Structure 1
Amino acid sequence: MIDIKKRLIEEIEKYEWDNVDDVIKSIMPNIIFSVDKNESDLSILNSRFGGAPAVPEDFVWPVQSLTNNAPLAFFFQINFEEIKPYDVANLFPDHGILLCFASVTDDIMWEYDVKDAFKVYFFSDTENLNLAKIPEEIPLEQRLAPRDINFKNSYQLPRYPFNYELGDDISEDDADGIDEVADIIFDKAIMMQHRIELAKGAGLQPPTPEDDFYTFFSHNILQGVPFSVQHYIAEKWSDLYKKYDKKNNDRENYINLISFEMRGKYGYGFSMNGAHLYLCMHQKDLANLDFKNTIAIVQNT
């Protein structure tokens, strides 16, 4: 397997910069993930979409309070103990389970900023968790089959907003260049993935890339700077976070907890339109393992 950071630096050095060293400093780690195409065996603590959530004995299933108190659909869970080996930035806890539920009745999830569109729960103690019983009121089309999530660490040259720690060290031209080159690198990688997938689906010989560099880029990402379909996520999060803390809402405090394209036809979404979900946190909330102010944002093309 290639050294992804070294390979990324090689790509950066193909372009002209005012100060290439500062551009290289803007590289940041992230964690990308894939989802099993086939249904997985249901395990209590594995990271996965669908199935039944791992919950404590006194867990109360969340409901949609705005309309008819319908139970929310269980979306996914991530086990931080599984993620930790890939957490180069050391932002996530060593253990614990995060659950995410979505309100898909009456399409409330598309109004992501309303109450109960999404709910997350974090349980640091995983020793006494058991699989919950799915409420009978949840229809079959809102019950995702279990599909395991597979993680690997990667690096990215982030689009705007890039690494805020560099501040004014980056020239305006280099800042614009970072945005442009980041797009080029990402788009080429995603295009190669699509070409290989289409060729295999058609029974044709897929293209042969020079290495596996293209496999380290994905819309499915934890940490880092996610792909924005519409507005820049950090800025949108900053506006929404004001209701929790008016004094400490700067966009550089944004953490991409997890973001991905919700792909219903592949078993990790509730529709076929491919909208993107972004779960966002404040750095201090993550450090304190306080997930109650997690903000969900949905963007669609």
Structure 2
Amino acid sequence: MFNFKKSKLEKLIKFIKKSDNKLSVDDKEKIIKLIKPAIGILTKKMESDNWKIGGSKIGGKPDLPKDVLWPRVNDSDLVFCAQYNFSEIKKFDVENLLPEKGMLYVFIGINGEYNEFSIEQKDCKIFFIENLEDLERKEYPTTLKTEGKVEPAEIQYFESITIPDDENYKLIYFDEKYEDFYFHFYQDTEEYIAEELNGIADNMHQILGEDKSIQSSVVYEYSKNELNMSDEKYTEKWNEILDNSKTFSNLLQLDCMDSNTNLDKFGGSGVFYIGLKTKELENKNFNNLMISFQTT
């Protein structure tokens, strides 16, 4: 078991063991082994973009190395959504999956027809820079439209805890074995985690851990996108998508409905998910990230 804050982990284990349902003792132990640490995110609205240079934040102006230009796609400036300083995250990374330093940046393009975030991989620039010795706060490009500016919000991190999404492949065995597995076990456990263990944050921002998906587990979408399969092929190619999904991990969730930001003007009630191959995460390689977007 990972080196996690004992009080939170022990509370969840105790809750699962004492839950009044039809799950066998052995199956409860199997689910306990699926508990995974994550890094939760608290946000605080800022009146102006006066946050320290290099600090983690949502919106405002990005802090980029002097030789790095504001990202563009097809001659259009991308919207700066967030930057995450890994040196601030490190003490909460109990599995030691992330580098000790560096910044992960998230820039997303706009679908001009609908004036909302594009969900196309090619329209996003999500990248990691390790050397942060020469950062400067970039001014908005003169070509960036006013509506493309995201209001700034401070980020603070905390230790979080997760279990797989109820439709994740890791829970298929239990769903098939127990009638109404979701209502007799999963729903109560998910609510306990959200309200009692992670309740200090009223959002779906997250780093690492099991995905908190709005729809089906997001690893299936990473898999489908990597295999370049259309939605029409989803059912037909399900076994291939399922097998490939087991090679992915969730890296980041960006919640557009966070009340301390105005990302909802482009993302509505949706969440951006960023994932990668588990082997690449283990090697701390962030060059081949996948995106997905889910909404209610």
Q: Is TM (by shorter chain) over 0.5? A: yes
Alignment of 1:100-249 (within 5 A): 100-104=106-110, 106=112, 107=114, 110-116=117-123, 118-160=124-166, 164=170, 172-173=176-177, 177=181, 181-187=185-191, 214-215=199-200, 218-242=203-227
Q: Secondary structure at the match of 1:11?
A: helix
1:57 deviation in Å? 2.0
1:172 deviation in Å? 4.6
Q: Figure out how many residues of one structure are paired with residues of the other and give that number.
A: 274
Q: Residue 30 in 1 paired to residue 38 in 2?
A: yes
Query: C-alpha offsets along residues 38-82 of structure 1, whole Å, 9 cap, x if unaligned?
Result: 4363221111011221212221222231xxx22111110000111
* Structure 2: gaps spanning 5 or more residues: 229-239
**Alpha-carbon separation, structure 1, partners of 2:201 and 2:40:** 7
**Alpha-carbon separation, structure 2, partners of 1:92 and 1:172:** 35
- In structure 1, the residue matched to 2:252 is 258
Q: Secondary structure at the match of 1:36?
A: strand
Query: C-alpha offsets along residues 4-54 of structure 1, whole Å, 9 cap, x if unaligned?
Result: 111111221223422122222121111111111343632211110112212
1:134 deviation in Å? 1.6
Query: C-alpha offsets along residues 158-209 of structure 1, whole Å, 9 cap, x if unaligned?
Result: 2245585x997x795369747863332334665x6xxxxxxxxxxxxxxxxx
Q: Secondary structure at the match of 1:45?
A: coil
More strand by share: 2
Residue 171 and residue 64 in structure 1: after superposition, are their counterparts in 2 closer, same or farther (change >3 A)?
closer
> TM-score if structure 1 supplies the norm length?
0.78
Alignment of 1:45-124 (within 5 A): 45-65=54-74, 69-104=75-110, 106=112, 107=114, 110-116=117-123, 118-124=124-130
**Alpha-carbon separation, structure 2, partners of 1:92 and 1:37:** 26
Residue 232 and residue 41 in structure 1: after superposition, are their counterparts in 2 closer, same or farther (change >3 A)?
same
Residue 51 and residue 269 in structure 1: after superposition, are their counterparts in 2 closer, same or farther (change >3 A)?
same
Residue 101 and residue 260 in structure 1: after superposition, are their counterparts in 2 closer, same or farther (change >3 A)?
closer
Contact 1:42/1:51, CA 8 A, preserved across alignment: no
Q: Percent identity?
A: 24
Contact 2:160/2:198, CA 8 A, preserved across alignment: no
Q: Residue 10 in 1 paired to residue 10 in 2?
A: no
**Alpha-carbon separation, structure 1, partners of 2:117 and 2:141:** 23
- In structure 2, the residue matched to 1:204 is none
Q: Secondary structure at the match of 1:237?
A: helix
Q: Secondary structure at the match of 1:78?
A: strand
* Structure 1: gaps spanning 5 or more residues: 193-210
1:139 deviation in Å? 2.3
